[in-house]
Every structure is written in C-alpha cells, then in structure tokens.
Amino acid sequence: MDVEDALKPGEALTTEERVARLEEAFSGLEGKELADRVNRFSLAMMAVHRDRPDLAREAFGAIEEAFTDIDFGKMREAVIAVLDYGAALASRAIEAGTANPVIIANLVGIFPALVNSLIGVGVTVLEATDLPPEILASALFNTLNALDAEQLGRALTALSAQVNDLHAGNYILGGDEPRARAVADALIRRVLDNLDIESAASAVVAIGEDTEVITGALVEIVSRDPELIDVATRAVVGLSNIGTRVLSNAMKAAADWPDEVLARMGVEGRVMDTVDVGAAVDSFVTYALRLRNANPGLHRELYTRALQAVNTERVDVHLRTVAGDLKHAAAANPGVRKALEPEELGRRISEMLAGFNRAAGSAATSDYLTRLFRAIDSRELETAVRTTTGGLLDAAFTSADTARSLLKAAASNALRLVKNLFNLIVRK
C-alpha cells in the first residue's frame, strides 16, 4: 500500500484506520534499497563518463536533426494556444475561488503555514551548518577556487558584446535618434492610458505613510532599549569606517597612478558634455523663477514656517561650540599653525598683492573704479553713508559712558599715531 491508497478520500475510514494505513505505507520504505540504487546510479554514470566523455556531443546529431525537422512556426502557434487555454483556465479558477470569501480565507491561511515551514527548514539548515570558522571559510574558498573563471569571463564577454550590439542596433534602426526612445514612449503611453493615476499616486503615498509608521515603531522600540541603541550605533559607526577606508584606499591608489594614465583620463574627460550640465543649471534656475512668479509669497511662507520650528538659542549655542571645536582642531594641526604664523601670513598677503598689482595696472584699475562709481547712484550712495554714519553716531552718543569710551580711544590712538610718526622721522 502506498501513501495515495492510504489517503483515498472516497472510503469512509476513521482517523485511526487512516493512521494505521499510513504507518503501513511508510513502513514499506527501504532506506538501504534507496541508498543502493543511488550508489549504483552514481557508479554507472562515473563509468560511462570515464569511458565515453563525449557521449553528449555524439548525441547532438539527433538533436540537430530534430531541430531541422521541427516546424517552429506551428510550435509557436501551439504554445500560444496552450498558454491561452492555461490563462483562461487560471482566470476562471481565480474568479470562481474569489467569489467565495471562505475559499479565499482558507487559501490565504495556507501561506503562513508554508512560510513557517520554509523558515523552519532554513533554520535547521543554518544550525546544521554551524561549523568552525576555519572550516566554513575553507569550504567557501574551495568552492570559489573550483569555479571555472575562464568560462565566467567568456560569459561576461559575450554578454558585453550583446549589450554593445543592442546599443548599436538601437541607433541603426532609429536613424537620427535611438529607436528605444520611440518604443519606450509608445509603451509608457499605453501604460498611462490604462493606469488610474490618482489611485497609483495614493498608493505611493500610502506606502510611504505605512513605512513611516513601521520605521517610527522600530525607532521607538530601539530607543527604549539602551543595549539596542548601543548595537545600532556600533553598526552605523562600523559601516561609516568601512566606507571611509574604501574611499581612502581608492584615493591613495589613484594618487599613485602614472602620469600617462592621468593624461589618458584627461583625454577621455574632454568629451564630457558640460554644455548639458550648464543647460540643466540654467533650466533649473528658469524653473525656480517661474515657480516663484506663479506663486507669489510661497517661498516666504515656507521659509517662515520652517524657521519658526527652529530654536535659535540652541542653534547659537551649537554654532559657537562647533566654532570652538574647529578652532582647537585647527590649532592642533602643525600645517595650520605654520600657515597662521605672522611671517607666513604676511608672505602670502604680499604674494596676493603682487599678483593683484600684476593683473591690474594703475590705469586699468582707475578706469574700472571710475566706471564702477559712475554706475552707482550718487544720491543713493550719499543717503546710505549718511544713514549709516548718522545712525552709528546717534547710537554711540546715546550713552555718556559709551561716548566717553569712544572719544578716549580715539584720542589715545591719535596721540599714538603722532608719536610713531615723530619717532619715524627722527630715525630717518
């Protein structure tokens, strides 16, 4: 008796009788016989392959003859007919099944059990293969070494050639522009003609909101457990370190490339279409200006709402703290300290002044400044200077202590200026 006979639904059997039949069916399984058959098959295949390694190639003549005699046009139509029948049967079965909610509930109920079974098998496999690190790594490395790298390289080369041929054919068929553009345009139009845009957009928003909820729940759970926070932080820092090392090693290798390699890179770089980059920037600016003109006050409203949510006091404390940290970090760098030495800083300023003087002659500078001030509205300039200086003087002399301090400092500096000039004249 086999398992199918034991589970015949037409017979009115009790559960005990069916269990007895199943036990009888399974008791007839012979493990040794199964193993003996597998071993005999293995030995037979090893012997045949040893004596006739080209047996499969020798059988290709019959395969070639079959391919020659097969009417692939009729086969194509037959396959299409079978697929059409299959699709119709599947659609009808789905329609009949979904018409009854009980059927749907039972079919859906199978899925968790199936997933749980697969997870259980996966857990068993992983636990069974819990080998020592060196054995696991050795098995993996041996597997990689056994791969036919030559065949893999040929496969990648053939794939690359197919991609290149497809790209070339795209332009050959299209003429002035790639054929893929017209094909993609027609396909997308047909899809959009049959797509409910509102429903699709709502679905995207719904997925985003559900993702937000799930992410928020995950963050909340992690936030309640200090150990999880520590593990998450360690993982983020570890990944950041890996990315930094990869970038550092890549840049270190690039810095050692020969000059001829860098020269060839420059030749290739000259074909970069920077015109389109500029056109993209110009288009973005045009879009931003048109959006602003079409929506007066929109940007001001958005900026105002965003800044209202910012605690400016904490931002101020943070910026001052960051500035202090950057100052200490810069002071700890020998190169920065050397660059800020008075002699070094003075030398750099002198070089910049010399470069400025070489680039702009006195006549050219005078002409430039003349044209500049000629273009400035003198009345507006006078008003701006008067307003600024007047406001500064009014604010300074509002308080007697402030005015006294300013006058005292001005008198002290004037006296020091006269004294230094006198000493300079005496030394001369």
| Helix, strand or coil, per DSSP, at residue 14 | coil
Over residues 384-409, the pLDDT tens digits come to: 999 998 888 888 778 888 888 888 88
Q: Alpha-carbon torsion 240, 241, 242, 246, what sign?
A: positive
Q: Write down the pLDDT at residue 57.
A: 82
Tell me the whole-structure pTM to 2 decimals: 0.69
Query: What pLDDT is recorded for position 74?
Result: 95
Check pLDDT > 70 for residue 356.
yes
Over 90: is that where the pLDDT of 329 sits? Answer: yes
Q: What gap in Å lies between CA 347 and CA 340, rounded to an integer?
A: 11
At 5 the pLDDT is: 61
- What is the reported pLDDT for 367? 82
- Going by C-beta distance under 8 Å and a sequence separation of 6 or more, which residues neighbour residue 397? 403
| Closest of 150, 183, 151, 154 to residue 166, by C-alpha | 183
- pLDDT confidence band for 265 (50 / 70 / 90): very high
- Summarised one tens digit per residue, pLDDT across range 13-22 is 777 877 887 7
Examine the pLDDT at 370 and tell me if it is beyond 90. no
End-to-end CA distance of the chain: 127
> Which residues, 6 or more positions from 315, have their beta carbon under 8 angstroms from its beta carbon?
none
